[in-house]
Amino acid sequence: MIKAKVFVTLKPSVLDPQGKQVMNSLHSIGYDNIEEVRVSKFIEIKLKSDDLERAEDEIHEICEKLLANPNTETYSWNLEHITGE
């Protein structure tokens, strides 16, 4: 079995209203040390096959087709073999 950890993050040029709101909340309760907050998605995907090359291709496709909005987001991932959990 393979586990993919996929990060889908807003492009740096894209405004992140959720992150901005978290930052404002933190400032309002006294955390003045906070400079910026960006909220992204972290998606863990378990794949049945142990074929790393297949997993690599599938995760790439899945990011393109479903997980990321190519207009506003970028993505990256890493893969690891796992034993059944």
3-class secondary structure, 81: strand
Handedness of CA 48, 2, 10, 69 (dihedral sign): negative
Q: Is 31 in the site for its own copies (CB under 8 A)?
A: yes
Q: What single DSSP character describes residue 56?
A: H
> Contacting its own copies (CB under 8 A), which of 42, 53, 71, 83?
42
CB of 71 to its own copies, least distance (A): 19
By CB under 8 A, tell whether 64 contacts its own copies: no
Tell me how far apart the alpha carbons of residues 81 and 3 are, in angstroms, rounded to a whole number: 6
Q: How far is the CB of 81 from its own copies (least distance, A)?
A: 14
The DSSP 8-state label assigned to residue 77 in this structure reads E
> What is the binding site for its own copies (CB under 8 A)?
1, 7, 9, 19, 22, 25-26, 29, 31, 33-49, 54-55, 58, 62, 65-67
